[in-house]
């Protein structure tokens, strides 16, 4: 029975009937992956892994619902590894108890402590900054910017952002709670709301385009979108109209988020699952991934993609992303109280 057939069997609500068959046919030299990251980003990595190890990777992609699927499948899940696009989703997986801790000296050594779960249930495989994009024409090049300053009166009517309910914004607000506490952050959030140039809308690229079109002077966005836009002839002009700024360089450093991976609690191929994650943090895989998605390697000493090397050196927030993700519920409630949920 193929991986997809097993998925169909489980989806049809016959997990108990299928489970015996699944266990009987599970190949020893394969690993089954659930991924929130798109196939075109993952396939070059998975092909390289198979070429190096001989282990076949069966991937199921979805942009939502994988956590719910893992919970529903329980012990009958075919998934060995799950990859998510941000720390909040990793925390959700931990809270649902669908990941297990693993022992790997390679992972412990390769991934900085702030980018791994304290109980080894997940490890970052790439990282990205959530930065500010300032108008080259309307914001002075030597202007020092911080996340905190977004609530200052000088930015009234000058800020663009995607909806605050999006996980990227929830994680940013969570980082503010981790740094300043809930009471301070709620005041700050209402200050940012008062400074918006328009209703939060669109994705991160839409915010950069908003600055380029003069709708706002400051946008909030992830670093990899800048690389995507610079590489696209139709979007390059908009990207060149803004200046990426890493906030808080004289203080705690820029808020970072991650793509991370963990082994599922009921993995049938645990050893191969660990082997896959170890490969993803190898220098070779880090270079491939950085070139594919314009994110920063999580492993020290690996070169970034040339198009985002222009960011240069910058200071990162040193807080463990697990501690940031722990504040996501408080952040979501804060967004709702601020009237920013729609």
The pLDDT value given to residue 310: 81
CA angle (282, 321, 328) in 5-degree steps = 140
The separation between CA 38 and the C-alpha centre of its own chain, rounded to angstroms, equals: 12
pLDDT at 1 over 90: no
SS3 state of residue 32:
strand
Tell me how far apart the alpha carbons of residues 90 and 127 are, in angstroms, rounded to a whole number.
Answer: 14
d(CA 122, CA 259): 10
Contact at 8 Å (CB) between 265 and 102?
no
pLDDT at 131: 97
Question: CA-to-CA distance for 288 and 294, rounded, in angstroms?
Answer: 10
Q: What is 3-11+29-127+256-311's CATH superfamily? A: Periplasmic binding protein-like II (3.40.190.10)
CATH topology of domain 129-254+315-337: D-Maltodextrin-Binding Protein; domain 2 (3.40.190)
Question: Which segments of the chain belong to CATH 3.40.190.10?
Answer: 3-11+29-127+256-311, 129-254+315-337
Q: What is the pLDDT of residues 189-215, one digit of tens each?
A: 999 999 999 999 999 999 999 999 999
* Neighbouring residues of 229: CB distance < 8 A, sequence distance ≥ 6: 205, 208, 235, 236, 238, 239
Q: Would you list the DSSP string of 264-332?
A: BTT-S-HHHHHHHHHHHTSHHHHHHHHHHH-PEESSTTPPPPGGGGGG---PBP-S-HHHHHTTHHHHH
CA distances 260 to 113, 175, 249, 256, Å, are: 13, 18, 25, 13
Closest CA to 325 of 92, 84, 65, 36: 92
Strands 81-84 and 30-35: parallel
Residues whose CB falls within 8 Å of the CB of residue 2, separated by 6 or more in sequence, listed in order: none
pLDDT higher for 122 or 342?
122
pLDDT per residue as tens digits for the range 23-77:
333 445 999 999 999 898 899 999 999 999 999 999 999 988 999 999 999 999 9
**Residue-level pLDDT at 14:** 35
pLDDT in tens, 128-165: 999 999 999 999 998 889 999 999 999 999 999 999 99
> pLDDT by residue (tens digit) across 316-327?
999 999 999 999
């Amino acid at each position: 029975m193929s991986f997809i057939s097993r998925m169909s069997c489980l989806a049809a609500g016959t997990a108990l009937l299928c489970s015996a068959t699944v266990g009987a046919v599970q190949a020893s030299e394969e690993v089954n992956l659930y991924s929130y990251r798109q196939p075109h980003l993952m396939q070059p990595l998975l092909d390289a892994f198979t070429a190096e190890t001989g282990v076949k990777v069966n991937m199921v992609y979805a942009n939502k619902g994988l956590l719910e699927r893992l919970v529903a499948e329980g012990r009958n899940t075919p998934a060995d590894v799950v990859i998510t696009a941000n720390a909040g989703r990793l925390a959700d997986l931990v809270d649902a108890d669908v990941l297990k801790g693993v022992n790997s000296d390679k992972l412990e050594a390769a991934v900085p402590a702030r980018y791994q779960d304290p109980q080894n249930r997940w490890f970052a495989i790439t990282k990205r900054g959530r930065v500010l994009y300032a108008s080259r024409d309307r914001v002075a090049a030597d202007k020092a910017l911080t996340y905190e300053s977004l609530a200052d009166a000088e930015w009234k009517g000058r800020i663009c952002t995607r909806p605050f309910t999006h996980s990227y914004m929830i994680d940013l607000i969570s980082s503010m709670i981790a740094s300043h506490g809930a009471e301070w952050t709620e005041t700050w959030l209402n200050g940012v709301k008062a400074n918006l140039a328009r209703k939060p809308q669109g994705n991160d690229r839409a915010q950069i385009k908003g600055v380029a079109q003069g709708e706002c002077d400051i946008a909030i966005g992830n670093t990899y979108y800048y690389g995507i836009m610079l590489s696209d002839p139709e979007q390059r002009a908009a990207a060149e109209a803004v200046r990426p700024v890493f906030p808080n360089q004289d203080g705690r450093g820029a808020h970072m988020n991650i793509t991370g991976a963990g082994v599922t609690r009921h993995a049938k191929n645990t050893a191969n699952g660990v082997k896959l994650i170890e490969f993803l943090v190898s220098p070779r895989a880090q270079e491939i991934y950085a070139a594919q998605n314009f994110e920063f390697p999580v492993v020290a000493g690996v070169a970034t993609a040339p198009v985002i090397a222009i960011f240069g050196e910058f200071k990162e927030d040193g807080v463990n992303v697990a501690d940031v993700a722990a504040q996501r519920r408080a952040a979501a409630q804060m967004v709702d109280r601020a009237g920013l949920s729609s």
